[in-house]
A and B are shown apart, each in its own frame.
Chain A
Amino acid sequence: MAQTESEVVQGIGSDYEVKYGFHVPEDYFFKSGRGLSHELVDAISSHKNEPDWMRKFRHRSLDYFLARPMPTWGGMPSLHEIDFDSIYYYIKPTENQAESWEDLPPDIKDTWDKLGIPEAEKKYLAGVGAQYESEVVYHKLQEQLTAQGVLFLDTDTALREHEDVFREYFGTIIPQNDNKFAALNSAVWSGGSFIYVPPGVRIELPLQAYFRINAANMGQFERTLIIVDENAYVHYVEGCTAPIYSTDSLHSAVVEIVVKPGGRCRYTTIQNWSTNVYNLVTKRAVAYDNATMEWVDGNLGSKLTMKYPAIWLLGDGAHGEVLSIAFAGKGQHQDAGGKCVHVGKNTSSVITSKSISKNGGRAGYRGLLEVAKGATGSKSKVVCDALILDDESRSDTYPYIQIDENQVDIGHEATVSKIGEEQLFYLMSRGLSEAEASAMVVSGFVEPITKELPLEYAVEMNRLIQLQMEGSVG
């Protein structure tokens, strides 16, 4: 505890540029040209040596993407400033995936060392996947989990080695034409994690994937598929960072999760992209009888994030939770939130959203709560709190609620508050600087969410918040 606290303090002096915003020279196995076309889709599929059905799926998805109009809600106006022609859609940094950090090219290995991934793997993870540009360059799972039948692979390998189970679920939770960015991902997807947890297997330590963009104008489109079988449990954690460039990059992932009866899946994201990255992600889970799905979604970085992790409570007694933190600083727009759809009887859900905006940033909650006809005995609670740190910043709340069943118990609360001069004075009168006092108020504000994280990630989250608070005052 003492050590982690002092690590927190040490982190305060550094900033994004030094810790995450660096980039290393490109010496890649393959880099596509800029722009999007059916030729590019063919090239990706060929590089991956994919079965024909996947190649066709990609082409059809590209047609859907091209046919669909851009959304006119959410991240306006900056969403319409994305230049799809300037993006590199596929970069394969190394020819083969490594099972040892030592086998990676030195620049790539140095990057992971700087980000602390190999060290975290030794200390508190059951498995790690590390994606660099378009491909997962390192992947490893503890041997005893492999012995128990757990699959934790990059998604491309899963397609090659476990095509049957892959094909059974792939694209079934998020159809390829679900939305414009899901269609884009379906056309050019590469990398991501595939997890299968057999019945009754509980993975006590988290599995982690880390996503790194290095090149300028990069587009990263990982695809994640998680299947938690009956009465099994997994906690999956993802983190991401990128260099700071003056031009924009695009990250557009699709994450599909199936939680079978009695199973439980917790999916934690600590999103810390640099502020030139568009982050447009579709995440959806289905939960069957008495299953539990939890999204813990921390959005601290990116230029624009549009992401609303969803849970379809299909089975009776299923439970869903979405905990969302959005932090928007200068030039950032976080359009975050969550969706819960009650279909089974006696299902329950809780959505807790905390958004913070400062230095002209815009953070908000956009959420959907839907109770279908027949979902009797359903309970749901939505709480969204916003903290605005100065007069230039903005918070928005869009809570959509649709209830088609009478026998339900629904609660919704929303608060907006400004950081109080009196609160700051009180803390400063105890010797804390204005920045320390503000960071303390903000850490307290998000505490209901950080307390749900394993200690290491709670420390990381608090440290990132303190970094965000640096220079925000005085």
Chain B
Amino acid sequence: MATLELKNLHVALEDGTPIVKGVDLTIAAGEVHAIMGPNGSGKSTLAYAIAGHPAYQVTEGELLLDGVDITAAEADERARAGLFLAFQYPHAIPGVTVTNFLRQAINASRKARNGGVDDPMPVPEFRKELLGQMDRLKVSRELASRYLNDGFSGGEKKRVEILQMAMLRPRISVLDETDSGLDIDALKVVAGGVKELVGPDMGALVITHYQRILDYIEPDYVHVFVNGRIVEEGGPELAKKLEVSGYEEWEEGKEAA
């Protein structure tokens, strides 16, 4: 079973500004964790740091995947080890179709798992898997031959992020504000797609400002994240409470300190 552990994780920007200030968190396969926090609390920085963005430096603490220290690993090594980040703002790659991109990404991971020797997924199997996942996630088949995220609507981008997750079969997924910009129907589909993947093979960390997405992906654990720290933890009921009372309680505390 996959486990991602954050131990006393501190993250700073390249200019040294501290953003994440000591986070302890363990996510195991089969679990859904929610990190909820106001804008500017450092949630996205935490997501980028987990995925290995070079602009975010881990200044203290460590990241362990299945007990192996990956704090110094490059983003691609982490991905091939089973980490996935669904981006809040996915980037466009003009000229590269969704199909080509996915095939190359899958084959890169397969090659890594095969001791560095090419082991491409047979094309018929790939196509069947891709079309099946697209239908399940209600992604229009026409998107398969479009350039990745190039001219996609906000909703299309988010669905294609989840499509990538479904195709790459990560063991721990981090979803950064996946609910933003989605209407309720799209949200249901996306959340349903994530829920199907969570199980013995995958755990998820859902990062969000609003409780809305959590109505569809029920979290097992909710962590309130303010000013770079987890300030309170609880079960799904905590999310509902936040929806009513907001983050003021903890933000005032920040000012007082």
Residues of A within 8 A of B (CB): 1-2, 5-6, 9-10, 420-423, 425-434, 436-437, 440-441, 443-448
| Interface contact A428-B75, CB-CB below 8 Å | yes
The reply on B85 being an interface residue by CB < 8 A is yes
CA distance A6 to B120 in the complex (A): 8
| Interface contact A428-B120, CB-CB below 8 Å | no
| Interface contact A427-B123, CB-CB below 8 Å | no
27 contacts between A and B (CB under 8 A): A2-B122, A5-B103, A5-B120, A5-B123, A6-B120, A420-B91, A422-B91, A425-B51, A425-B75, A426-B90, A426-B93, A427-B93, A427-B101, A428-B75, A429-B51, A429-B52, A429-B84, A431-B76, A431-B80, A431-B105, A436-B104, A440-B101, A443-B95, A443-B96, A446-B95, A447-B95, A448-B95
CA distance A287 to B75 in the complex (A): 52
Q: Least Cβ distance of B149 to chain A in Å?
A: 9
| Interface contact A431-B93, CB-CB below 8 Å | no
| Interface residue tally for chain B (C-beta within 8 Å) | 35
Q: Least Cβ distance of A173 to chain B in Å?
A: 34
CA distance A9 to B109 in the complex (A): 14
The reply on B24 being an interface residue by CB < 8 A is no
Partner of B96, one of A422, A429, A433, A444: A444
Residues of B within 8 A of A (CB): 51-55, 74-76, 78-80, 84-85, 87, 90-91, 93-96, 101, 103-105, 107-109, 112, 118, 120, 122-123, 147, 164, 168
Q: Least Cβ distance of A8 to chain B in Å?
A: 10
CA distance A446 to B93 in the complex (A): 12
Known contacts A425-B53, A429-B85; can you find 16 more A-B pairs with CB under 8 A?
A: A2-B122, A5-B123, A9-B107, A423-B91, A427-B93, A428-B75, A431-B112, A432-B104, A436-B104, A440-B93, A440-B96, A440-B104, A444-B95, A444-B96, A445-B95, A447-B96
CA distance A2 to B79 in the complex (A): 25
- Contact residues in A for B54 (Cβ distance below 8 Å): 421, 425
CA distance A6 to B103 in the complex (A): 12
CA distance A239 to B74 in the complex (A): 39
A422 to chain B: closest residue by CB: B91
- Contact residues in B for A426 (Cβ distance below 8 Å): 87, 90-91, 93
| Interface contact B74-A428, CB-CB below 8 Å | yes
B150 to chain A: closest residue by CB: A444
B91 to chain A: closest residue by CB: A426
| Interface contact B93-A433, CB-CB below 8 Å | no
CA distance A189 to B51 in the complex (A): 59
CA distance A445 to B96 in the complex (A): 8
- Contact residues in B for A437 (Cβ distance below 8 Å): 76
